[in-house]
């Protein structure tokens, strides 16, 4: 967790970490996920830094998305809705590319 705190320079690191932990807990409970410690740390670091990057640059990750036939539409929808409190709290919008990356992180 110290590495997350060291990477966040604009936002309150304890606050964003707690909020992202809440998102992860919601996702693991709702989607019955049991991420490894490594996946958990990657999720926390990525999401905390992602929120700060979007707050600073006002621009979410943009990249071409390939059509994924094996994508679980329900899980993708749950991931999107789980970040609504973050989007509202920081007045940001995550792109589908961000959500897709998070989906891949949790399901790879």
Q: Could you read off the pLDDT of 22-65 as tens digits, one per residue?
A: 999 999 999 999 999 999 999 999 999 899 999 988 665 665 55
DSSP, collapsed to helix, strand or coil, labels residue 89 as: helix
Stated as kind and residue range, the H or E segment containing 46 is: helix 37-57
State the Cα–Cα distance between residues 91 and 108, nearest whole angstrom.
29
Q: Tell me, what's the pLDDT at 2? A: 63
Q: Tell me, what's the pLDDT at 13? A: 84
Stated as kind and residue range, the H or E segment containing 79 is: helix 73-82
- What letter would DSSP give residue 64? -
- Residue 80, token pair as written in the block: 């999107």
Question: How many domains in the chain?
Answer: 1
pLDDT at 18 over 60: yes
Q: Does residue 40 or residue 71 have the better pLDDT?
A: 40
State the Cα–Cα distance between residues 5 and 12, nearest whole angstrom.
9
Q: Tell me, what's the pLDDT at 29? A: 98
> Is the Cβ–Cβ distance between 32 and 4 less than 8 Å?
no
């Amino acid at each position: 967790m110290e590495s997350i705190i060291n990477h966040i320079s604009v936002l309150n690191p304890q606050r964003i970490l707690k909020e992202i932990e809440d998102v992860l807990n919601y996702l693991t409970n709702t989607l019955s996920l049991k991420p490894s410690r490594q996946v958990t740390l990657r999720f926390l670091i990525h999401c905390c830094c992602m929120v700060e990057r979007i707050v600073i640059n006002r621009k979410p990750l943009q990249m071409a998305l390939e059509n994924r036939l094996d994508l679980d539409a329900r899980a993708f929808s749950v991931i999107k809705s789980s970040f609504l409190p973050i989007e509202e709290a920081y007045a940001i919008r995550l792109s589908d590319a961000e959500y897709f990356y998070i989906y891949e992180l949790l399901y790879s």
